[in-house]
Amino acid sequence: MEVAKAIELRRSVKNYDPGHRISDDEIERLMSLAILSPTAFNIQNWRFVVVRDPELRKQLRAAAWDQAQVTDASLLIVLTADLKSWQKDPERYWINAAEPVREFMVPAIGQYYDGRDQVQRDEAMRSCGIAAMNLMLAAKEMGYDSCPMDGFDFDAVGKLIQLPEDHVVTLFVVVGKGVKEAWPRGGQLPLSEVLITDHF
């Protein structure tokens, strides 16, 4: 499927076939594409929690205001980010780069993030947002529907998945076989309203 077609066809589907299973090979393919998503300084700060335990999914559904797609979709991914990935052996992010690139990039990571908690959190949100879009477009190309979600109790979800203290939950993405079409698009703003040239 062409990327443009996947973008046009991807919708936030809420109703899924609870009996459909995505194979392990498909999950591996999907996640292998997700980790090609760009991150600043290549810190790869996303961490993907694929929730397989049916009982845990029920608990997460309760924390998500009983939204059915949490349990009914074939795949539930909780996108989280390691806020301190920038300081955890940063040399590994540039291990395959030429030495001059490594010598420049590795020290720059710490210089940029050290002591800047808001920047670390902002970067987590950006990185996971980009990865979520890669996941959803890849899912569409594979013949699946998807839905990004932030309608849940973030603290409760963190406890349920035993989130480390230096991580943050960013959003859910569910993937599966939709059984009901998404609502018609609510109304796209005209390009003239959202596209600004040079300055406001």
Alpha carbons 108 and 181: distance in angstroms, whole number:
47
Of the chain, the percentage scoring pLDDT greater than 90 comes to 97
Q: pLDDT tens digit string along 144-167? A: 999 999 999 999 999 999 999 999
The pLDDT score that the predictor gives to residue 191 is 95
For residues 161-181, average pLDDT: 97
**Residue that the structure tokens 């920047």 belong to:** 119
Alpha carbons 83 and 85: distance in angstroms, whole number:
6
> Would you list the domain boundaries of the chain?
3-194
Query: Residue 140: enclosing H or E segment and its boundaries?
Result: helix 117-141
3-state secondary structure of 68: coil
Of 167, 163, 171, 127, whose CA–CA distance to 146 is shortest? 171
Q: pLDDT tens digit string along 179-188? A: 998 988 999 9
Q: How confident is the model at residue 195 (pLDDT cuts 50, 70, 90)?
A: very high
The pLDDT score that the predictor gives to residue 30 is 98
CATH code of domain 3-194? 3.40.109.10
Q: What is the pTM of this model?
A: 0.95
pLDDT at 110 over 90: yes
Q: pLDDT tens digit string along 24-81? A: 999 999 999 999 999 999 999 999 999 999 999 999 999 999 999 999 999 999 999 9
pLDDT at 86 over 90: yes
Alpha carbons 69 and 15: distance in angstroms, whole number:
6
54 backbone dihedrals φ, ψ, rounded to 5°: -60, -35
pLDDT at 1 over 90: no
